[in-house]
């Protein structure tokens, strides 16, 4: 099937725009960037049509990568039902966002660089999804992390952008260290990294066998997932990632890369099914992240940060689903989230574009009159993420909450209340943006067709995407996914609708209520608006001690004290000392030369007499 062609097209786009893009006209850059992703999307459709209904996984061996002792790792690719879903999400949503970017980035410097980075990201994300073993997937895993860094720090001349890029890169490396340890432990335990072979070994493994090792592998891989998918305690990089251009937020930090941790958890479900304690950790961390991020989202005033914290929160729902065994519901939410969250970010980008860069919700309002298409499409996205019945988020989120109810009712109730909080802060942002009177200083205008048409397409998907039966499609691989509970669905949907009503009262009908509530909350509002001071705690407990230790021990102690003074400068002193001696020998004075010759002759005669006189 030549599966490698799927990621070859974006790689070619990256190389063309990356090498020659500076000298190419923008229409040609657009053709290369969008065309490469379109070809990838079309080839995915071709492959899936040939393999449908994909009852068995189809693998493809490209070449042998590592052959050492018992370990044989090939650069191998695979397509199964999970891969098919992810391929369609990555290429389909990626294509829409590439088209949108031509309008949003039209007046930006480094246009060619932006699209070359986007194509490179597509290449690595598709490698991650197609990889049939942990090592190939890890190449894509690290590659998307690199592209995330490059795109977050796209405005690298600005300190805030470079700092955000560095933060994302460093935090993800912490998670990836755990992921690498998980890979090494997998090799040591099972002598293979191939997903199919690992699944076969786990199937034949008694439930109690090597439980501790499997739990360790599952937890180490989850450490990597907490970094990539922004879960507690490694979620702090994602809100700052909004420093990058808005299409980056939509593609990488909402629809694709940040879901890689969820995808990997579902991919290695055979580990988690044999490690119930690890599954509990995944569920609890996911639920805690959903709650914490949702509460922070209530107080944010930057429209992109509101949606950033909603991303962190929704990712928490996905891990809750995986942690209670509802893997297909989790992947279902990955898909619907890709639709409505990409729409939320792109809609926010349209607002920012229409307001000449303004991102503060306090300087918006009344934009429904100036930006009707953006208003309607963002309304659809807000209804979808709030879980309003009939919209895509209702089906996927409530599938997760129904599974949580079957697993542990307290998890369901926490998740349902959090769903209400989500609806509240998302509609808070919507009402502050589009309702009431305009409070800004710019001249609002609707975005061009290159931006609004992708919004309309995503709005259609956000409204109707829930009717795509992903849980049924994946039930062959994840039989534990079905936990329908109509009562749980009604309760969670009711919380969502309640959140919308409260937001309407406070931020549209009677705005004075919002200020009264803020004053009543007092210190609690301050605590939440400062994001629970988590960044400050990291700064105090981690960053400053590391910087201090590095300065005192590594810089002054090792670098200056041992390397510079002891080794480098010490060798220099020795060489200089011998140089001084030899310089005196080469004085240029004949009398001194004669003296040295005489002294040398006497020494030779003495030595010969001392050691050779007996012969």
Of 286-300, 325-339, 366-380, 577-591, the least confident: 577-591
Mean local confidence (pLDDT), 581-600: 76
Residues with Cβ within 8 Å of 150's Cβ and at least 6 positions away in sequence, in order, are 117, 120, 165
Is the pLDDT confidence value at 230 over 90?
A: yes
Domain boundaries, the chain: 278-524, 535-612
Q: Which residue has the tokens 């009604």?
A: 490
Q: Which two tokens stand for residue 81?
A: 């039902």
pLDDT at residue 602 in the model: 86
Q: How confident is the model over 333-363, as pLDDT tens digits?
A: 999 999 999 999 999 999 999 998 999 999 9
Give Cα separations from 510 to 295, 299, 432, 504 (angstroms): 22, 18, 12, 8
**Angle of helix 26-51 versus helix 111-130 axis, rounded to 10:** 10
Give the model confidence (pLDDT) of 21-39 as tens digits: 999 999 999 999 999 999 9
Structure confidence by residue, pLDDT tens digits, 192-218: 999 999 999 988 777 555 578 999 999
Q: Six-digit token pair at 303?
A: 């429209």
Q: State the pLDDT confidence band at 132, using cuts at 50, 70 and 90.
A: very high
Separation CA 269–CA 279 (nearest Å): 10
Confidence band, pLDDT 50/70/90 cuts, at residue 533: very high
- At 476 the pLDDT is 79
Query: Rounded distance, CA 365 to CA 386, Å?
Result: 21
Residue 478: pLDDT over 90 = no
Burial status of residue 573 (CB atoms within 10 A of its CB: 0-12, 13-18, 19 or more)? exposed
pLDDT at 210: 59
Residues 342 and 100: their CA atoms lie apart, in Å, by 11
Q: What value, to the nearest 5°, has the Cα angle with vertex 438 and ends 442 and 529?
A: 95
- Please state, in angstroms and rounded to a whole number, the distance separating the CA atoms of residues 487 and 525: 33
pLDDT at 9 over 70: yes
Q: Residue 4 has what pLDDT?
A: 96
Q: Which residue(s) pair with 59 in the sheet?
A: 78
Number of other residues whose CB lies within 10 A of the CB of residue 448: 14
Percent of the chain past pLDDT 90, that is, above it, reads: 77
pLDDT tens-place string over residues 447-471 = 999 999 999 999 999 999 999 989 8
What pLDDT score does 555 carry?
Answer: 79
- Over its C-alpha atoms, the chain yields an Rg (Å, rounded) of 30
Query: Do 112 and 29 contact (CB within 8 A), yes or no?
Result: yes
Whether the predicted pLDDT of 559 surpasses 90: no
| β-pair partners for 64 | 74
Does pLDDT of 391 surpass 90? yes
Q: Which residues contact 378 (CB under 8 A, 6 or more apart)?
A: 343, 344, 347, 348, 351, 430, 433, 434
What CA–CA distances, in Å, run from 360 to 320, 392, 395, 441, 528?
A: 32, 28, 32, 12, 18
- Residue 255's pLDDT is 82
- Mean pLDDT computed over 363-388: 96
Query: In the prediction, which pLDDT does 112 show?
Result: 95
Question: By three-state DSSP, how is residue 302 classified?
Answer: strand
Q: How confident is the model at residue 496 (pLDDT cuts 50, 70, 90)?
A: very high
What does the alpha-carbon distance between residue 84 and residue 313 come to, in Å, rounded to a whole number? 25
Average pLDDT for residues 420-446, to the nearest whole number?
93
Structure tokens at 89: 């999400």
Instruction: Say if residue 233 is preceded by a cis peptide, omega within 30 of 0.
Output: yes
Residue 480 has pLDDT above 60, yes or no: no
Percent of the chain whose pLDDT exceeds 70: 97
> What are the φ/ψ torsions at residue 75 (nearest 5 degrees)?
-80, 85
Confidence of residue 611 (pLDDT cuts 50, 70, 90): confident
Cα gap 149→560, rounded to integer Å: 32
Name the token pair of 573: 């002193």
Residue 376 pLDDT: 97
Q: How far apart are CA 202 and CA 272, in angstroms?
A: 10
Residue, of 68 and 193, whose pLDDT is higher = 193
Residue 277 near residue 135 (C-beta atoms within 8 A): no
Mean pLDDT of 288-308: 95
Q: Whole-angstrom Cα distance, residue 557 to residue 565?
A: 10
- Kindly report the average pLDDT of the chain as a whole number: 92
Q: Provide the token pair at 359.
A: 């991102």
Output the pLDDT for position 147. 95
135 band by pLDDT with thresholds 50, 70 and 90: very high
Return the pLDDT at 481: 46
The answer, yes or no, to whether residue 489 has pLDDT greater than 60, is yes
pLDDT at 93: 95
Q: What does the pLDDT read at residue 613? A: 55
* Contact call for residues 119 and 17 (beta carbons, < 8 A): yes
Q: Whole-model pTM? A: 0.90
Please determine, for residue 571, whether its predicted confidence score (pLDDT) is greater than 70: yes
What band does 598 get if pLDDT is binned at 50, 70 and 90? confident
Q: Which residue has the higher pLDDT, 373 or 253?
A: 373
* Residue 13 near residue 95 (C-beta atoms within 8 A): no
């Amino acid at each position: 099937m030549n599966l490698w062609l799927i990621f070859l097209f974006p790689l070619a786009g990256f190389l063309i725009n990356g090498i020659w893009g500076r000298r190419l006209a923008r229409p040609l850059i657009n053709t290369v960037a969008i065309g490469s992703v379109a070809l990838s999307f079309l080839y995915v459709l071709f492959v899936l049509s040939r393999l449908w209904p994909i009852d068995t996984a189809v693998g493809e061996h490209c070449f042998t990568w590592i052959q050492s002792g018992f370990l044989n790792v090939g650069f191998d690719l695979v397509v199964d039902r999970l891969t098919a879903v992810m391929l369609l999400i990555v290429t389909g949503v990626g294509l829409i966002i590439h088209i949108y970017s031509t309008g949003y980035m039209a007046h930006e410097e480094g246009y060619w660089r932006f699209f070359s980075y986007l194509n490179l990201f597509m290449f690595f994300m598709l490698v991650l999804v197609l990889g049939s073993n942990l090592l190939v997937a890890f190449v894509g895993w690290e590659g998307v992390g690199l592209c995330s860094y490059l795109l977050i720090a796209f405005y690298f001349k600005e300190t805030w952008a470079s700092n955000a890029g560095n933060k994302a890169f460093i935090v993800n490396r912490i998670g990836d260290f755990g992921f690498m340890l998980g890979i090494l432990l997998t090799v040591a335990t099972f002598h293979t990294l191939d997903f199919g072979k690992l699944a076969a070994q786990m199937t034949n493994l008694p439930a109690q066998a090597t439980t501790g090792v499997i739990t360790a592998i599952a937890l180490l891989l989850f450490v990597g997932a907490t970094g990539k998918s922004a879960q507690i305690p490694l979620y702090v990089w994602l809100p700052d990632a909004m420093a990058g251009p808005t299409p980056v937020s939509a593609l990488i930090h909402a629809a694709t890369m940040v879901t890689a941790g969820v995808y990997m958890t579902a991919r290695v479900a055979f580990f988690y099914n044999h490690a119930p304690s690890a599954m509990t950790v995944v569920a609890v961390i996911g639920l805690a992240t959903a709650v914490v991020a949702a509460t922070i989202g209530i107080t944010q005033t930057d429209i992109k940060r509101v949606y950033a914290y909603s991303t962190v929160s929704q990712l928490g729902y996905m891990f809750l689903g995986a942690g209670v065994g509802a893997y297909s519901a989790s992947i279902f939410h990955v898909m619907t989230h890709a639709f409505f969250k990409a729409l939320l970010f792109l809609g926010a980008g349209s607002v920012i574009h229409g307001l000449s860069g303004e991102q503060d919700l306090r300087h918006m309002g009344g934009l429904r009159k100036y930006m009707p298409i953006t208003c309607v499409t963002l309304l659809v996205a807000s209804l979808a993420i709030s879980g309003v019945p009939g919209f895509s988020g209702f089906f996927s989120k409530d599938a997760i909450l129904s599974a949580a109810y079957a697993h542990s009712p307290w998890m369901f109730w926490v998740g349902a209340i959090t769903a209400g909080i989500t609806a509240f802060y998302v509609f808070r942002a919507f009402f502050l943006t589009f309702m009431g009177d305009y409070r800004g200083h710019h001249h609002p205008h609707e975005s061009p067709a290159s931006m609004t048409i992708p919004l309309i397409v995503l709005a259609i998907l956000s409204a109707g995407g829930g009717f795509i039966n992903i849980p049924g499609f994946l039930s062959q691989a994840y039989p534990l996914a079905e936990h329908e509970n109509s009562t749980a669905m009604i309760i969670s949907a009711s919380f969502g609708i309640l959140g919308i009503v409260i937001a309407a009262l406070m931020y549209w009908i009677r705005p004075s209520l919002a200020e009264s509530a803020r004053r009543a909350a007092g210190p609690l509002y301050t605590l939440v608006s400062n994001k629970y001071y988590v960044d400050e705690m990291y700064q105090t407990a981690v960053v400053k001690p590391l910087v201090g230790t590095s300065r005192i021990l590594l810089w002054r102690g090792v670098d200056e004290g041992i390397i510079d003074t002891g080794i480098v400068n010490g060798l220099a002193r020795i060489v200089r000392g011998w140089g001084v001696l030899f310089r005196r020998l080469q004085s240029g004075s004949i009398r001194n030369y004669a003296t040295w010759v005489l002294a040398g002759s006497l020494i030779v005669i003495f030595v010969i007499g001392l050691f050779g006189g007996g012969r």
